[in-house]
Amino acid sequence: MIEKNISLKPYNTFGLDAEAKLLARVSDVIDLQAVLADSKLINEERFVLGGGSNILLTKDVDALVIKNEISGIQLVEETDDSYIVRSGAGVVWHQLVMHCIENGYAGIENLSLIPGNVGAAPMQNIGAYGVELKDVFHSLEAVEITTGNVQTFSASDCEFGYRESVFKRKLKGQFIISSVSLLLTKEAKLNTSYGAIEEELERLKIQSPSTKDVSQAVINIRQSKLPDPKVLGNSGSFFKNPVVPTSKFEELRSMFPNIPGYPAGESTKLAAGWLIEQCGWKGKVVGNAGSHAKQALVLVNYGNATGVEIFNLSEQIMCSVYDTFGVQLEREVNVY
């Protein structure tokens, strides 16, 4: 069934009140192919929606919104030391993480509590606490919008990068991801050196952590630092951490000795949150929008902000970071 003039407010974590001209919920690939082939809808622009946790809606969506609700998690292969687990694109990402932890499939515990659905995870190669989707990725299936054909993509086909993939670049708007398969291990190779994980494990008095313990530590840290979108609308980190030539980092460090920098291949990754905070934005409220008091990188809707207000705030932040540091921030959130 195609719904008309639907408010997208419950479907985006910024809580922005944009309206979709048309909305179709699809629960399997056949359903999706039927919607794509429907002659009455053929001239409509298409807009794919997952959990709405990485979008900024600056206007009504004059398009057919395809809400991906393809469910199901299956173990498709088991070897002596690994598992391949396939998940429908409409599964909530954190539910997949919990399912894996409960069944002893290791490798995604650091990605606990990232909002959104499985189908969007490859879009920006989601990452947190030193682990990215690409580290556990096996393959995905996606439906081509123009033909309805199903194609399989390997990791190299996806061209994953830092919060990047081929689906945000060369193939933008061309495919709808229908399932994602992960390669997980039987033996856990825990990564606890990132951020405050070790500190949190110590606080919990855990000396030999399991995947479940690491997941719980990540959940605790995230809940203590990040605004809950149900309470305060947001889309997580609004900007990517900029990666600059190391010579630029050294130049900046001579002027700002405390500037954090992390090796990223030959280059250096800066912490966008630190740059924004130094420019005085942390906790600042402008109209109905602002930068969060605990993490400057997260822009928030304090109640009745419009997408344009949040977009304009992001412009101001980008200008002041550029003026102060000569560094161009790039938005991570998908702006419509």
Q: Which tokens is 41 given?
A: 């809808």
Residues 6+ positions from 55 with CB-CB distance below 8 Å: 12, 14, 49, 235, 333, 334, 335, 336
Contact 127, 136 (CB under 8 A): no
| Residue 233 binding ligand FAD, by CB under 6 A | no
Among 29, 166, 177, 183, binds ligand FAD (CB under 6 A): 177
> Of ligand NAP, ligand FAD, none, which one sits near residue 55, judging by CB under 5 to 8 A according to partner kind?
ligand FAD
Inter-residue contact 120 to 128 (CB < 8 Å): no
Residue 165 makes contact with ligand NAP by CB under 6 A:
no
Residue 144, both tokens: 């081509």
x/- mask, ligand NAP, residues 214-233, rule CB under 6 A, reads -----------xx-------
**8 A C-beta contact, residue 312 and residue 334:** no
Give yes or no for a contact between 44 and 64, defined as CB atoms under 8 angstroms apart. Answer: yes
Could you confirm whether 178 is annotated as catalytic?
Answer: no
Q: Would residue 169 show up in a list of annotated catalytic residues for this protein?
A: no
Cβ closer to ligand NAP: 70 or 298? 298
Q: CB–CB of 240/332 below 8 Å?
A: yes
Asked if 293 and 282 count as a contact pair (C-beta separation under 8 A), the reply is yes
Q: Quick one: how far is CA 241 from the chain centroid?
A: 14
108 binds ligand NAP (CB under 6 A): no
Minimal distance in Å, beta carbon 102 to ligand FAD? Answer: 21
What mask, x for binding ligand FAD by CB under 6 A, covers residues 117 to 136?
x-xxx-xx-xxx--------
Least distance between ligand NAP and beta carbon 198 (Å): 11
83, 68 Cβ separation under 8 angstroms: no
Q: Choose from ligand FAD, ligand NAP, none: what does 53 bind? Cβ within 5-8 Å by kind.
A: ligand FAD
CB of 154 to ligand FAD, least distance (A): 17
Binding segment (CB under 6 A) for ligand NAP, from list 125-133, 148-156, 172-180, 315-323: 125-133
Catalytic annotation on 132? no
- Spatial separation of the C-alpha atoms in residues 297 and 238, rounded to whole Å: 6
In the complex, the residues that contact ligand NAP under the rule CB under 6 A are 127-129, 194-195, 225-226, 236-237, 241, 262, 271, 273, 295, 332
